[in-house]
Structure 1
């Protein structure tokens, strides 16, 4: 009988369907998926056992695993929302587990700021506030308003004045709380790490381009750009001090005059198609290596191919209908993954939900990479009307 690997999932996503589950099967493991979106997963995973479960409740997950009479070798999730629950379940079952407190501190941005402050690590002014709380003129405007447990720049906006903040808070439910943070002006960079519980390996990172204020939609990501190369060791040190260890972690920093300061820690693999780029760049395989850490297996120091690479996101400029989508033939140098199809209605959320599709470019040199990008833009037009 094959060993079993249990996945906890929330909404259906490509990383699980096209990345992690095939990697688990390649490692010769039976796969069981527990999810609160059972129908969608059953349709996408015809040859995988899928069970409906309240995956936000660790007791419900543990009870279902017991009822299924299985003893998994690993319990894994790539969902931002499920890291704490997954850590609790894995720990109770005696399989490799992330520290659940670190998972929670990473996910909840208010607690992340408190932990950074308690450890003496670089951080910024922040405060939680509800819609009915008074607005103070002495706060360090401009501010960034964000959900304490948000993802993907959803509902994140820059606020320049007390009047703007008052108007913004008036749109919230009275009981809803948000996090206010001092705005950091500087380049956005990421660090992608992989840990086996003993060593934290820095894989590399991205220099990220953003949309114009007041929103923060990621429009492009340059693999191992100049800012990432300069600050890579510094960022890794911050994560080790914070407590990041087992498995994959995707962290974002702003480069300020005093060095990189954390924006957020996503204690799972990077997404938005960059995980598939990493799977091509990491010689041992990105998805496979991550699962091996959760299976308690020793991993080699990840070997990363010395390639230039960039991700370009096609961001809908306005609401409407996708009338023309890019048409290219994928190859080793240029790949396109469609998110929206021709005829799809487009609504604007000022987040990665506005993506039409994703281009991935790889080349041996920076000049060749930029040539590929320009050539592709000229021969693959698209439009929203």
Structure 2
């Protein structure tokens, strides 16, 4: 059935999850789709004429409301999958009486220092932290080593382990623009994620990934295994922390480090998991991934969450140096194997020590863990990417 009220998606930069995931899912639900974005030209190039794209200052909730009013649009739902736009979208949706995430929690989750403050106020597990303002001078008595990260950063951009005051000052001095940063105590231990869905009344843990990181001082995600040992063991304890924090309605992707005292939040991304893992979940979960998320914003109750059948992991092919990509092989078709190239042969690559360094994504699925591991080893052994300086 075609619905006349559109499903409005708020977007910043062009993103595969929105273009290839959420928009097709909204259309399959029978809704015309309107995209509000501050990058209208890029979105028009990525979408066909069935999607109306409107230029808007999407960081401002009043601008979102004014544009909708000016175009005579009464949305069926208002949704964003952008890290940066959760607060603005929540405020605008609330103003229209639509299902919305609590904007105060969206803000507290996005701003990392505010997240640490809220964890401390609520008595939840956390670590020492302090904001690094442009005029802040690191101190010798801080609990080194520390992790320095942007206050609202994404994708591991500009995240660095520093061991003392001198190395911290040296790192800060090399940054081209001194933005507001956060320094927090380094946590040693395995990393896992928790993916949650909520309808405003109930929050459930769909599952999580055990994540392999590159060696410090950088923190690039190299691979992730669905329902690994850590995410399975600590799922309920991590879920309890998120509920206490205030995460409820909609989809949320959170990361935890397992310390000697149990899981401690690294960050809360109050949107869907990304980096290709959303597409893996859409195939892996019996109810899909994109559609149930959109249905929550239509006011529909949380659907039954059925566990994934089988094992799955995702491997990121990460550039090891800057240069020109000379060899970009494609894996041979095989059962349980998919590959998503992110860089083309002949393309220039500049190392950023973040997920911007990914050359491609390998998806592997199998009936059991031993079979998955065999496919993983065989796939990596058969491929080699080459970058010429």
TM-score category of the 2 structures, normalised to the smaller one: over 0.9
* Structure 1 position 380, deviation (Å): 2.8
Q: Confirm or deny: 8 A CA contact 2:83 2:271 kept in the other structure.
A: yes
Unaligned runs of 5+ residues in structure 2 are none
Which residue does 2:202 correspond to in 1? 199
The answer to whether the aligner puts 1:20 opposite 2:22 as a matched pair is yes
Which residue does 1:365 correspond to in 2? 368
Which residue of 144, 163, 180 maps to 1:160?
Answer: 163
Q: Confirm or deny: 8 A CA contact 2:251 2:271 kept in the other structure.
A: yes
Which residue of 283, 288, 293 maps to 1:290?
Answer: 293
The answer to whether the aligner puts 1:337 opposite 2:340 as a matched pair is yes
SS, match of residue 338 in structure 2: strand
RMSD, aligned α-carbons: 1.2
* Distance in 2, Cα, partners of 1:238 & 1:62: 33
* Distance in 2, Cα, partners of 1:3 & 1:66: 14
* Distance in 2, Cα, partners of 1:85 & 1:104: 9
SS, match of residue 146 in structure 1: strand
Question: CA 1:135/1:33 → structure 2, altered by over 3 Å: closer, same or farther?
Answer: same
* Structure 1 position 304, deviation (Å): 2.3
Q: Confirm or deny: 8 A CA contact 2:202 2:302 kept in the other structure.
A: no
TM-score by length of 2: 0.97
Greater Cα shift, 12-21 or 123-132: 123-132
* Distance in 2, Cα, partners of 1:245 & 1:275: 19
Which residue does 1:374 correspond to in 2? 377
* Distance in 2, Cα, partners of 1:255 & 1:19: 31
The answer to whether the aligner puts 1:189 opposite 2:192 as a matched pair is yes
The answer to whether the aligner puts 1:8 opposite 2:7 as a matched pair is no
Structure 1 residues 311-358: Cα deviation after superposition (integer angstroms, max 9, x where no partner): 000000000111111212455500000110111100000000000000
Which residue of 230, 239, 250 maps to 2:233?
Answer: 230
Matching of residues 218-367 of structure 1 within 5 Å = 218-330=221-333, 333-367=336-370
Which residue does 1:43 correspond to in 2? 45
* Structure 1 position 381, deviation (Å): 2.5
Which residue of 29, 32, 56 maps to 1:30?
Answer: 32
* Structure 1 position 376, deviation (Å): 1.2
* Distance in 1, Cα, partners of 2:356 & 2:179: 22
* Structure 1 position 142, deviation (Å): 0.4
Unaligned runs of 5+ residues in structure 1 are none
Structure 1 residues 73-117: Cα deviation after superposition (integer angstroms, max 9, x where no partner): 110000000000000000001100001000000000000000000
* Structure 1 position 374, deviation (Å): 1.5
